[in-house]
Structure 1
């Protein structure tokens, strides 16, 4: 960020700059390089008036470059910012790195394999490798589903800590995709605790009747996880024994993908709350 001396030393009237954009960039830098901060803390860090910081953050949140933790009232980098960073490093983006493992998983289990990321209270599918079965579970890349009803979403929410359930269901009415969807925050918190203990999440006909899905994050444990891989198929083939085998294999695959990521993109694991 720019110091007062740097600002004062600029040639006045010779640089065609937009003041509000400069302030927005300062706020964004404060979010990116520091720990999650409140509006007041960011105002103090950047030297920008609190009201302006408030408006800038609201705009960045609306465009998903920044996310807000409603419980702590702090702000952190959002999914679109991570996507923009990944676009600058095409050779090391998660889709490219995960595809070999996803292909191996599809060939091993014969079911559809998905890669997704968490955007607010929804999961966005980034990459899908379809099963060769005529009866298969699939979705188009770019589609979003509620985090509370998907294995991908629950896996990612579990790594964010106990407050994630309340944040995910803060949008009322809570999304109920099927009669099995979890829409009670207390029940979801208990489910996420089980996910953290087990290492992988299960969607048992919660997002689509007749479909079961298993997911693990990249890496399988830690708040640094931003992406998850899932395997989905019909409930007739996704038996409890199959789900257990898939869960263990997914954790192994996700660990191997995480090892390929640059530091700070899934390898700087922080224990979840």
Structure 2
């Protein structure tokens, strides 16, 4: 069983302190802010300074990260594995269920499809990476909204017009907020005939690092109803492999307060 490496955790905490404070810091400053003995903090600072990740002022002997961190971060970002993670997750969902697997994230009141694995049934949902789905009809979007606060969900849902896209589209903001609250309570979101007549989708959400994402399975409503339990089990299995339940940068969420009852837009979930 893997275990937490304290030295690695301290290194990342130290960098987060610099990001928060945005100023040069002494050994004693950092020891206080990180709640560490000054001797342990000194060793860590010395190591990072010797490796070129920190500079040290000549007179005040204070530290600050060098541009080497930025260079490395840019190199890492250029090969961002997020899309590979999303694609593999969608393929796993397709292989487990035969239905279309999708991964998406919120962008300005719509859901952008990051990855897509087309189902294997003759009758299946077909879409494309890069499609933008109307948030109020999207299982992906509502699942992702459930990660945040009710206030943020309401704000996102107000960013775009709530149009009647299909027979089951919901355009009442209060009902949509109640849907998101239900997803928050149960951990998954189901929609049917909201983005396209005859189409249903089931979705879960979580974090890849600090990035909130959602995964869904979409297919014909009758077939999805018949196999909903199996689809939900597949989603939970892939969710456990891919996602953290919350962002590592956020504190654990307290119990939620219960509330009363770009490019082309794609209709389904």
Q: TM-score, normalised by structure 1?
A: 0.60
Q: Does 1:232 pair with 2:214?
A: no
Q: Does 1:247 pair with 2:232?
A: yes
**CA-to-aligned-CA distance 1:76-119 (integer Å, 9 cap, x gap):** xxxxxxxxx89843655222123333222211110100111101
Tell me the distance in 2 between the aligned counterparts of 1:151 and 1:257: 18
2:147 touches 2:206 (CA, 8 Å); kept in 1? Answer: no
What is the DSSP-based 3-state SS (H/G/I as helix, E as strand, rest coil) of the residue aligned with 2:106?
A: strand
Tell me the distance in 1 between the aligned counterparts of 2:211 and 2:205: 6
Tell me the distance in 2 between the aligned counterparts of 1:167 and 1:146: 15
| Larger gyration radius, structure 1 or structure 2 | 2
- 1:168, CA displacement in angstroms? 2.8
Partner residue, 2:51: none
**CA-to-aligned-CA distance 1:49-87 (integer Å, 9 cap, x gap):** xxxxxxxxxxxxxxxxxxxxxxxxxxxxxxxxxxxx898
- 1:172, CA displacement in angstroms? 6.0
Q: 2:89 is matched with which residue: 101, 107, 131?
A: 101
Partner residue, 2:126: 138
Tell me the distance in 2 between the aligned counterparts of 1:86 and 1:130: 32
Partner residue, 1:115: 103
**How many correspondences in the alignment?**
185
Tell me the distance in 2 between the aligned counterparts of 1:228 and 1:172: 20
- 1:266, CA displacement in angstroms? 4.2
What is the DSSP-based 3-state SS (H/G/I as helix, E as strand, rest coil) of the residue aligned with 2:218?
A: strand
Deviates more, 1:209-218 or 1:91-100: 91-100
- 1:244, CA displacement in angstroms? 2.7
Q: 2:176 is matched with which residue: 168, 188, 200?
A: 188
Aligned 1:145-160 pairs, distance under 5 A: 145-160=133-148
What is the DSSP-based 3-state SS (H/G/I as helix, E as strand, rest coil) of the residue aligned with 1:194?
A: helix
What is the DSSP-based 3-state SS (H/G/I as helix, E as strand, rest coil) of the residue aligned with 2:105?
A: strand
Tell me the distance in 2 between the aligned counterparts of 1:172 and 1:92: 29
- 1:175, CA displacement in angstroms? 2.6
Tell me the distance in 2 between the aligned counterparts of 1:87 and 1:215: 32
Structure 1 alignment gaps of length 5 or more: 1-32, 35-84, 260-264
Tell me the distance in 1 between the aligned counterparts of 2:111 and 2:135: 5
- The alignment yields a C-alpha RMSD, in angstroms, of 3.0
**CA-to-aligned-CA distance 1:225-264 (integer Å, 9 cap, x gap):** 511111100112101x5223322331231221126xxxxx
1:149 touches 1:181 (CA, 8 Å); kept in 2? Answer: yes
1:219 touches 1:255 (CA, 8 Å); kept in 2? Answer: no
Describe the shift of the 1:101–1:183 C-alpha distance in structure 2 as closer, same or farther (beyond 3 A).
same
Tell me the distance in 1 between the aligned counterparts of 2:233 and 2:210: 20
**CA-to-aligned-CA distance 1:113-147 (integer Å, 9 cap, x gap):** 01111012100001110012221112111110111
